Amino acid sequence: MKAASAVLIQVQRQMTLIGLPISLLLVAGLVGVLGFVLPVVFDFPALVIPGGIVGFVVAWVYLVKHQRINPNYDRDLLVTPMFWGSRKAERLLTTGGRK
C-alpha cells in the first residue's frame, strides 16, 4: 500500500501576477521597455508608446503560454544560462552510475 503524501501538490505553486511568476513578469517588462527604447534610438517617435505596449503584450502572451506548458519554465529560462555561464573551464557532467 502506498502512503499518501501529506503535502498538497496543488498548493506548491509560485505567486503570480497577471498569470506570470514575478521573474517572468520582469522579463516581459524588460521587453516592453525595449519596445519603448528602440523607437527612440532609431528616431521613430510615433512608435514609442505602441511599441512598448505591443512588446509587453507579445512577451506576456508568449511567456504565459510556455509557463502553462511547463510550470518550471521560469527556472529553465533564467537559471540554466547562469549554470552554464558561471565557469569558463570545461564542465563534465556524469550520470552518477556505478563503475
- In this prediction, residue 72 carries a pLDDT of 83
**pTM given for the model:** 0.70
With cell 573551464, the residue in question is: 89
DSSP calls for 28-72: HHHHHHHHHHHHHHTT-GGGHHHHHHHHHHHHHHHHHHHHHH-TT
- In this prediction, residue 1 carries a pLDDT of 44
Full domain range(s) for residue 50: 43-83
Q: Count how many domains the chain has.
A: 1
* Contact by Cβ (8 Å): 28, 60: yes
> Measuring CA to CA, which residue among 95, 63, 94 is closest to residue 78?
63
pLDDT in tens, the chain (99 residues): 455 656 655 556 778 888 899 999 999 999 999 999 999 999 999 999 999 999 999 999 999 999 999 888 888 888 877 776 766 666 666 676 655
- Does residue 63 sit within a domain? yes
- Does residue 22 sit within a domain? no
- For 69-91, the pLDDT digits (tens) are 988 888 888 887 777 676 666 66
- Does residue 58 sit within a domain? yes
- Does residue 3 sit within a domain? no
Q: How far apart are CA 46 and CA 68, in angstroms?
A: 35
* Contact by Cβ (8 Å): 67, 21: yes
